Copies of this chain bind each other. A is one copy, B any other.
Amino acid sequence: MKTINIIGLGNVAFHLIQKINTLPNYKLQQVAVRNRENAKDILASNQIVTQISDLQTADLTIISVSDEAIKQVSEAIPYQNQLVVHTSGTTSMEILRTHNRRGVFYPLQTFSKSRKVDFENIPLCIETTNENDGEELKTLAYQMSEKVFMISSEQRKSLHVAAVFVSNFVNHMYSIGNEICEENEVPFEVLHPLIQETAAKIKTLAPLKAQTGPAIRHDEITLKTHQEFLKNETYKNIYKTITESIQNV
């Protein structure tokens, strides 16, 4: 039985805690939180500590706090020579203090506490300084998810930039579409199936091959009509910029 400590009670920690509690070969030993009250619903009271210095040695410690706090938190861990990982997509592994063996356990998904997460489909990106620790993390990861990847800090950085494009920027495209619909009294739900199909397509088709629309067709009449239609200068600029990018690929 391997023991695990978790530090933090944010969105990622919240889901990790519940998942680890279901795993037969792991024991969630302690969770360090700021506020004991917030943790009571999902943890037994003897699992909760409010000081990192009260954590007892565990085989694995998962730091799941805001990026800015990772360094300081890792320095406060009272034991040494154990495996300590963070769950951040943007933070280098090197930021962790070297009195413990370092690693990263990054679940690549948007989490919110109110939405149930199907862990099996979440890619877990793993990095460690030594191979044994890599195997340990992989063993844990494969009990949570079918999708486990060894990803270096440098690759993780690129992945995070890519994620901004395919998730944050995509969502902003949805926002603009929604706004255009509202202004013209068209229900946004008319576009829902198109949105789902566009996302579903790339599971079987490379996005470059899936590209459709007036830009890739060089349909200059439609492109002109659309740009004249857009009164919002920012959206008009986005329309032009992305259209040119599609045409230059």
Q: In the complex the two chains form, is B186's CB within 8 Å of A177's CB?
A: no
Interface size bucket, A side?
35 or more
Q: In the complex the two chains form, is A249's CB within 8 Å of B168's CB?
A: no
Give the distance to chain B from A197, nearest Cβ to Cβ, in Å. Answer: 6
Contacts of A167 in B (CB 8 A): 194-195, 198, 212-213
Contacts of A95 in B (CB 8 A): none
C-alpha spacing A123/B206, complex, angstroms: 26
Give the distance to chain B from A44, nearest Cβ to Cβ, in Å. Answer: 31
C-alpha spacing A229/B180, complex, angstroms: 32
Q: What 1/0 flags go to A174-187 for Cβ under 8 Å of B?
A: 11111011011111
C-alpha spacing A131/B170, complex, angstroms: 39
A202 with B195: in contact, given A190-B147, A229-B161 (CB under 8 Å)?
Answer: yes
Q: In A91-110, which residues have CB < 8 Å from any B CB?
A: 108-110
Closest partner residue, chain B, to A214 (CB atom): B164
Contacts of A186 in B (CB 8 A): 149, 151, 155, 158-159, 162
